Structure 1
Amino acid sequence: MTIWPDPERQLIARYIAGLNLRTTNSRIYYRQALNIFQDVAERHAKLDKDMLVAWLNVSPGRWASTTRLHRTRIIDRFLDHLEETGAIARNPIAALRDACNIKQCKPVWRALASREPDSALAELHQPRQFGSVLGKMMAEHVTLMRNRGYKYTAQTAWLSRFDRFLQLNPALQGQSLGVILEHWSVAKTTRNHPNECEKLKRTLAKILRHQNPSIPPRRPDPRPGKEVAKHWRKPHIYTPADVRRMLDVARSYPSPRAPLRSLSLYTMLLLAYCAGLRRSELARLDLGDVEFRGGTITIRQTKFYKTRILPLPDSVMVELQVYTDARRRAGGSLDPRSGLFWHERRGDRYTKQTVARLLVEVIRRAGLKPPQGRTGPRLHDLRHSMVVNRILEWYKTGINPQDRLPFLATYLGHRDINSTLVYITVTQDLLHHANERFRVLGAPCLNIGPEVPA
């Protein structure tokens, strides 16, 4: 095994040869940067922070600041290669990055290139997750809840922010939990912070009761949650005419470099409304999840770890067949595990971020949302609209929605009916049909008639 720096510089030559660089100029740039880096390394006894600073001080005379920052990426990859092959014990940049508890290397290089590298590195330092005096207790609770099958992502975020606050305020670590929570409650002035504090207190109380069951349960305070709920955006209920307009826009979506995209957006929008699918569920659909013979699609391992099989109308299945045929002609993979919504330029499935961005653009082009900003109807409102319009159809056909709500909750992938009730937005049409149903069924009950003597 060759140890770097090697006098013959064979490691640099083999590394560049293995990169399969496309142009001769790229090989020249890599060889120049790595040779200068080794020149500096040979003048130092150790591959440490001082050696990196020395290389950066040599570089300004040769390269502009932007070029030097680009060369640091070449050095990063080379050092990672040396560590993987055992030519060096540890990548010094990775060691500094771990010491600062950050994920990227570029801030470390910028700190080393500053006038005072030590102070700049100290400013980069981030507290480690669950490194406070209460960190072990909170980390054990997160592990316990995840072992029980909960995702526990939001709660972990609250606990992590609280843990970070404790580490940045070491004077509080000797105080009682009540005093610490009082300081935490006034640490931020955002609208949601009181509600987050209430949820955190509830979680900490649960942790303490797990450790000591004799502690009396804490009585929750519903006021912060109600105050936040007052400012929630009300869902926009798309009418059937709005949905038809969006479908027309999706069919004519301009995409000269990806001709399949317009049909992909049309089919995504159709499933988002007709099946009430979330954007993540659209992105995770596989080709094999569509069962044309049975007229169903399978939604696998979504929110709350649920998998459900959804029957779809024949008209929707026809559109899905049209899309899959076009997908096959465009060169899409026929592997049942490949993404249903296939990106022909990338040769892979659409991500949920791309699905959301493109469908929101369709809503904007349909004139239902302003050209810019986060105001106006949202993509998730299609799911709300599906629920409201389905209940309206039940009213029109004489079906009691109360009897069908458990089926609707299952169709949407909810844990219980209470989650589905959140999606029922009272519109004028819905209120009119509900009142009419009460008039027909309830009014005769109020007509008691004359009293019959005993």
Structure 2
Amino acid sequence: MTARWPDPDRANIGRYVASLDLRSMKSRTCYRQVLHGFQDVAERYEALGQEVLLAWLRESAIRRAASTLLHRTRIIDRFLERLVELGAIERSPVAALRDECNIKQCMPIWRALASRDPEKALAELRQPRPFGSVLGEMMAGHVAMMRRRGYKYTSQPLLLLRFDRFLQLHPGLETEPLSAMIDRWAATNGTRHHAEECEKLKRVLAKILRHRDPSMPERRPDPRPRKQAARQWRKPHIYSPADVRRMLDVARAYPSPRVPLRPLSMYTMLLLAYCAGLRRGELAGLDLGDVDLQDGTITIRQTKFFKTRILPLPDSVVVELRAYIDARRRAGGSQDARSGLFWHERGDGHYTPEMITWLLADVIRRAGLKPLRGKTGPRVHDLRHSMVVNRILEWYRTGINPQDRLPFLATYLGHRDINSTLVYITVTQDLMHYANERFRAVGAPCLNLRQEVGS
């Protein structure tokens, strides 16, 4: 039978710290101090609940700064989760408060507990129950039906949940007609983005009502809110080939003494992001078995729009991939075909999409293309935009009509249709120049011919 906690011999703490495989003695000492201090407090109470968390925070605040204390709470969170897995405790008190407030993160709970008035802070933190409004049952049923039909249906439920939360916070709207509810929600925010959200909500709710009553007339969508919102979107940055070379040089020289393979991994990520137009999630999802060096292809499995595609790569990229895979093997990377192509020693061996974004964004900053702080400036996803624009420029230079090649480019990028690819075509000065030259060569003689015939 699993020992309960708090355990007198504190063996749970010792086993937990040993299982973490912490590299430095300083980290192991820190974990032990935090966990032993937490158990000292827990032993003074009959049950592991909110009172224990408050008492530990009060006593720890005497010795540690507020920022350091909140950082230490992560150690407590993970330890409590391990105790639940072992059966030493029935439930983590932090998880209980998180469920009570209907939130997913632990840190807001700790911040509320560490405030001057924890009860008031927790009350302000509590979120309404999902789909608990007067329309909640209807909206939840629609989401479940769409997912049963095989749709991912991820963005629409988030929109419906925001509207549902608004209705719960304004109970006086329960007797109002649906149009009045939406108008009140639209009045809460005057931004163009919110106006576009309201139009999306009207479209989704109209679909729900038509599913319930097929005799209802179909609602005609209003394109104006989307067009107005699109005017304020940040335009993609198109990297020049010189910019890409600079980023590749920075990636190769990236300082990473503890993880020697990381610079080459980042270099190869940049190559595939630009040369193959891969999304960050596609980079993270690549396995070793997805690379076929003999045929010079990579397989992208079940990504956006449920598509799997096999992409041919230029010979120069295949050479770099082969060099990376050899370096990966020498570094001790798993040779299992299901292991991550971009491998590292921690966790499950895969880089997460978030980690890839952070690393490549840091390369962009070090290359001098993005400010050192903030979210402004070029993005990692702009590599995909740049791949499209530079490929069309190359077609123009070699005398190829890009219009004939766009369906192939859409397939290569994993788009549903050519309309999705057109979004990636950013008009640059070079692109406008080549388009004008093509029109002068092909279209202008046609115009002269019409004038001659008319005369």
Fold match by TM threshold 0.5: yes
- Tell me which moved more, 282-291 or 249-258: 249-258
| Aligned residue number for residue 290 of structure 1 | 291
| Aligned residue number for residue 445 of structure 2 | 444
Cα distance in 2 between the residues matched to 1:322 and 1:48? 54
Tell me the number of residue pairs that the alignment of Structure 1 and Structure 2 aligns: 442
| Aligned residue number for residue 411 of structure 2 | 410
| Aligned residue number for residue 141 of structure 2 | 140
| Aligned residue number for residue 53 of structure 1 | 51
Residue 76 of structure 1: how far off its partner (Å): 9.0
Is the radius of gyration larger for structure 1 or structure 2? 1
Structure 1 residues 43-442: aligned runs within 5 Å: 47=47, 52-53=50-51, 56=54, 64=62, 77=79, 81=83, 85=87, 94-104=95-105, 118-344=119-345, 348-442=349-443
> Contact between 1:4 and 1:11, CA under 8 Å: does it hold in 2?
no
Residue 324 of structure 1: how far off its partner (Å): 0.8
- Tell me which moved more, 325-334 or 236-245: 236-245
Deviations 1:151-193 (A, max 9, x none): 2222111111111111111111221111111110011233411
Cα distance in 1 between the residues matched to 2:340 and 2:330? 15
Residue 302 of structure 2 aligns with an amino acid whose one-letter code is Q
Residue 279 of structure 1: how far off its partner (Å): 1.3
| Aligned residue number for residue 44 of structure 1 | none
The alignment partner of 1:310 has SS state of strand
Deviations 1:127-161 (A, max 9, x none): 11111111111111112222223222221111111
Q: Which structure 2 residue ranges, 5 or more long, are not aligned? A: 19-24
> Contact between 2:83 and 2:89, CA under 8 Å: does it hold in 1?
no
Residue 421 of structure 2 aligns with an amino acid whose one-letter code is T
Cα distance in 1 between the residues matched to 2:193 and 2:171? 25
Residue 390 of structure 1: how far off its partner (Å): 1.2
Residue 36 of structure 1: how far off its partner (Å): 5.2
Change (3 A) 1:198 1:292: same
Residue 406 of structure 1: how far off its partner (Å): 0.6
Residue 248 of structure 1 aligns with an amino acid whose one-letter code is D
> Contact between 1:251 and 1:266, CA under 8 Å: does it hold in 2?
yes
The alignment partner of 1:183 has SS state of helix
Cα distance in 2 between the residues matched to 1:183 and 1:103? 28
Cα distance in 2 between the residues matched to 1:408 and 1:361? 29
Change (3 A) 1:61 1:419: closer
Residue 292 of structure 1 aligns with an amino acid whose one-letter code is L
Cα distance in 1 between the residues matched to 2:405 and 2:327? 36
> Contact between 1:279 and 1:356, CA under 8 Å: does it hold in 2?
yes
Residue 88 of structure 1: how far off its partner (Å): 7.0
Cα distance in 2 between the residues matched to 1:125 and 1:259? 45
1:40 aligns with 2:45: yes
> Contact between 1:53 and 1:113, CA under 8 Å: does it hold in 2?
no
Cα distance in 2 between the residues matched to 1:122 and 1:53? 16
Deviations 1:395-441 (A, max 9, x none): 22222211111111000000000011111122222222222222322
Cα distance in 1 between the residues matched to 2:154 and 2:221? 21
Change (3 A) 1:351 1:116: closer
The alignment partner of 2:298 has SS state of strand
Cα distance in 2 between the residues matched to 1:345 and 1:389? 37
> Contact between 2:17 and 2:32, CA under 8 Å: does it hold in 1?
no
Change (3 A) 1:112 1:428: closer
Cα distance in 2 between the residues matched to 1:241 and 1:63? 52
The alignment partner of 2:45 has SS state of helix
> Contact between 1:258 and 1:345, CA under 8 Å: does it hold in 2?
no
Change (3 A) 1:65 1:196: farther
> Contact between 2:42 and 2:52, CA under 8 Å: does it hold in 1?
no
> Contact between 1:295 and 1:313, CA under 8 Å: does it hold in 2?
yes
Residue 281 of structure 1 aligns with an amino acid whose one-letter code is E
- Tell me which moved more, 356-365 or 52-61: 52-61
The alignment partner of 1:146 has SS state of helix
Change (3 A) 1:230 1:115: closer
Deviations 1:195-240 (A, max 9, x none): 1111111111111111111211222121111111111122222222
